[in-house]
Structure 1
Amino acid sequence: MRFDCFEVERWMDLYECTPGILNVAETCAESVSIDQLIQLSEDKATNPLQTSTVLTYGAIRGSSTLRQRIASLYKGEHLSAESVLITQGAIAANFLVFYGLVGPGDHVICVYPTYQQLYSVPESLGAEVSLWRLQPENGFVPDVDELEALVKANTKMIVINNPNNPTGVPIPRDVVYEIVEFAKARGIMILSDEVYRPLFHDGIIEDNANMPPSVADLGYEKAIVTGSLSKAYSLAGIRVGWIASGDEAIIERLAEARHYTAISVSQLDDQVASYALSPAVRGPLLRRNVSLARRNAAMLAAFVEAHSSVCSWVAPSAGTTAFIRFHDTDGQPVDDVAFCRDVLDRTKVLIVPGSHCFGRGVDFAGYVRVGFVGSSAVLDEALQKLGEYVRQRFGL
């Protein structure tokens, strides 16, 4: 088995421990402690950790409480606790889906740009992958008409990422329906990496009629979703993710594959995750993070507007990331790798080069990814320093 270097994770591994950095490459909403979860909770009597628990492996597929709370995140009655597998983060969830369902002779269609894992892992397993290219002139929204030219007789799976990393653009409601109908008519599985759901900047589901549905909401039995507590829920440190599908055969197949990679997740992590998804905590936590995303997105928008002669973007409306293109005054894209390294050397601001970490060849030249839903204070300082750098570099 051969695999490509996972460039974005390698970049983070190389640079995020640099002393004194202002890390706006991070993609999680500002992390919280267990004490902060308790402060946010509307039920102060419930303890997130049962300290008398004997630390066995615990429930192999995840506790019934956690799996039921995850199932309840999706609409309809076709998902239950038995429809959910708990994994060590969404990165393990995505890997298991490919490991269990894709191999030589299969064809996969994957949106692009996206998290490299979603196309590199199926390639490493011997599948052929066609990239479904998202265009800035189309607002980085996938064009369903293009699927007709990409689909093949052996297409096994369509892979989407909603909201998208790195662009921060969600797939709109009508397009999600079209993708599902396209796949359903041909019996093709859909994997939807929804790790940034439900962090939509115009509000959480209880007060957001425009929120696009999860593919798990639409009753298609070959739809598979992955998610985690890391991004929208600020809990990367507990390493809890999941796979959900209404197809019992898919879940059982992936449960068998999972035996080769994990016995169970930590009981302590399971308890914290269950607490975070309880009705008393989930709403306040998401409202906190939506408010943080709105505030920080406005700061980033002001930066882009102030430097619009040398940078442009499709403004993000969901998730935690933005994809910004830097170019010379004549419109030529910067060398984004050299740009990001020079920014880090001169300002201690850490950002991610787009062509290197999200593209192949010259794709996305000049783009950088910014993670903007961390600390507002860190983002503010980073944008001030980045602004000074940009004005000096481009002579503004």
Structure 2
Amino acid sequence: MQIAGFGVEAWLNENERTATTDISQSSIAALTMQEVVDLDGQHGQHFYQQLNQLRLDYGWIEGSPTFKKLVSKLYQHVPATNVLQTNGATGANQLAIYSLIEPGDQVIALYPSYQQLYDIPKSLGATVDYWHIHESNQWLPDIEEFKQLIRPETKMILLNNAVNPTGSLLDAELLKQVVALAREVGAYVLADEVYEPLDGTPFVSIADLYEKGIAVNSLSKTYSAPGVRIGWTATQSTVLADLFRKYRDYTMICGGVFNDQLAILILQHRPEILQRNRGIVKRNLKIYTDWVMQEPRASLIVPHGISVSCLKLDLPVDDETFCRQLLSETGVLLVPGSRFDLPGHVRLGYCTQTETLERGLTKLSTYLRRFDA
């Protein structure tokens, strides 16, 4: 099996630990362990008492019944039995694609977006047709272009909603059009939904729109807990869930007793975490957009309360050279847009700690001035 290098992950693996001001990441500022356990209202006492009684065996293979029930409540039409715990959203995407895609299949993938969604199908021998997002259309795709791509033999449509790295959102109207066309040919629709908008923009899951929809999510982005490494697949279809179960046995035994308990605690206190994170998004997005307005070399299509953004920079050098030099000379880390096939741009994660964002933007502006002469 041949597969392309994972652009963004290779960049972060190489550079994120050397950065002193990291404004590249896609999650909302990560919670500390203390902040998570404090959610039990007893400074973690109740959580650790429960944990101390658990044996470090394999635990619940698919995720505990409590976890599965909490996840199912996030959807309107997904029963708890159809929720399968995975190793983050990357594990969920891999599971679904591995379970359904065979050599010679034709799939349609939103592009550019999260690289896993188009390069894993390619590695399995599928033909991947790109449904392009357009900067001229607020980083959204055109449904008329989709109609030209879909065929009677289309096996799967792969979406990233909201889109990484642009922060653009496929709304319910557009998704319903995709579902109607997918239903005509019997295609599956997988949507990686790890980026939930936190600015009040309405969001609908593919699992609630379509009987052959596959929703993928995790605790990494909206829930500020990427280190827990818990994600899931969610489907209306028990047939799909059972198929995933079979393939899951080959890819993952369990999420781990400790991680499952942390995931439960986080999901039980979802309202408090989302309230915290809405505050971060609102505060930091204003700081960021105010900075863009006064920075002559920067322009931005503003994300919809989503923790990633695709910043356009007017530079006389390519974006990767710029990002390497910026990191070397200032300690500021961005992701080159070329790692997402978006040259001339960078991914800027504005939902980091506010002081980190402010410091990073100040350093970035200072560095950009060298190109003004």
2-structure distance, mates of 1:41, 1:283: 13
User: Does structure 1 residue 113 correspond to structure 2 residue 100?
Assistant: no
* Structure 2 residue 215 is the aligned partner of structure 1 residue 228: no
- Equivalents in 2 of 1:378, 1:153: separation in Å? 50
User: Of Structure 1 and Structure 2, which has the larger fraction of its residues in helix?
Assistant: 2
| 1:346 corresponds to 2:329 | yes
Q: How does 1:311-390 map to 2 (within 5 A)?
A: 311-328=298-315, 334-355=317-338, 357-359=339-341, 364-390=342-368
Residue type of the alignment partner of 1:16: E
2:370 match = 392
Contact 1:40 1:285 in 2 (8 A): no
CA distance in 2 between partners of 1:246 and 1:17 (Å): 41
What's the counterpart of residue 154 of structure 2? Answer: 155
Q: In 2, distance between residues paired with 1:180 and 1:291?
A: 33
Q: For 1:42 and 1:143, locate their aligned partners in 2 and report how far apart those are by CA, in whole Å.
A: 48
By how many angstroms is 1:319 displaced?
Answer: 2.0
User: Alpha-carbon deviation of 1:37?
Assistant: 2.4
CA distance in 2, matches of 1:120, 1:318: 28
Give the conservation status (yes or no) of the 8 Å contact 1:163–1:318: no
| Counterpart Cα distance in 1 of 2:249 and 2:191 | 23
Q: Distance in 2 between matches of 1:79 and 1:269?
A: 22
Provide the residue aligned with 1:268 in structure 2.
258
Distance 2:326 2:237 in 1: 48
Identify if the C-alpha distance between structure 1 residues 326 and 188 changes in structure 2 by more than 3 Å, giving closer, same or farther.
same
Structure 1 residues 1-396: aligned runs within 5 Å: 1-18=1-18, 21-40=20-39, 47-49=46-48, 50=50, 51-75=52-76, 78-197=77-196, 200-203=197-200, 210-218=201-209, 220-278=210-268, 281-307=269-295, 309-328=296-315, 334-355=317-338, 357-359=339-341, 364-395=342-373
Tell me the CA shift for residue 46 of structure 1. Answer: 8.1
**Structure 1 residue 310 displacement after superposition:** 2.0
Q: How many pairs align?
A: 371
Question: For the Cα contact (< 8 Å) 1:166–1:369, is it kept in 2?
Answer: yes
Q: Is the 8 A contact 1:169 1:318 kept in 2?
A: no
CA RMSD of aligned residues (A): 1.6
C-alpha distance in 2, partners of 1:300/1:39?
A: 30
Q: Which amino acid aligns with 1:250?
A: L
- TM-score (ref. length: structure 2): 0.96
| CA distance, structure 2, for counterparts of residue 236 and residue 107 of structure 1 | 32
Q: Per-residue deviation at 1:34?
A: 3.4
Contact 1:114 1:358 in 2 (8 A): yes
Superposed displacement of residue 153, structure 1: 2.9
Q: Name the TM-score, length of structure 1 as normaliser.
A: 0.90
State how far apart, in whole Å, the 2-side matches of 1:201 and 1:52 are.
36
Shift of 1:202: 1.7
Residue 216 of structure 1 and its aligned partner are, at CA, apart by 1.3
Q: Please state whether the residue corresponding to 2:24 is helix, strand or coil.
A: coil
The answer (yes or no) to whether the contact 2:106–2:155 under 8 Å persists in 1 is: yes
The answer to whether the Cα contact below 8 Å between 1:122 and 1:129 also exists between their aligned partners in 2 is: yes
Dislocated runs of 4+, deviation >6 Å: 42-46
Percent identity (aligned): 37
Contact 2:97/2:121 (<8 A) preserved: yes
The answer to whether the 8 Å contact 2:86/2:230 transfers is: yes
Aligned partners of 1:371 and 1:334: how far apart in 2? 22
Q: 2:251 is paired with a residue of what secondary structure?
A: coil
167-176 vs 285-294, which deviates more? Answer: 167-176
Provide the rounded CA distance (Å) in 1 between the counterparts of 2:291 and 2:79: 45
Q: Secondary structure in 2 aligned to 1:324? A: strand
Pair 1:48–1:319, CA change in 2 (3 A): farther
Q: Which stretches in structure 2 are left out of the alignment for 5+ residues?
A: none
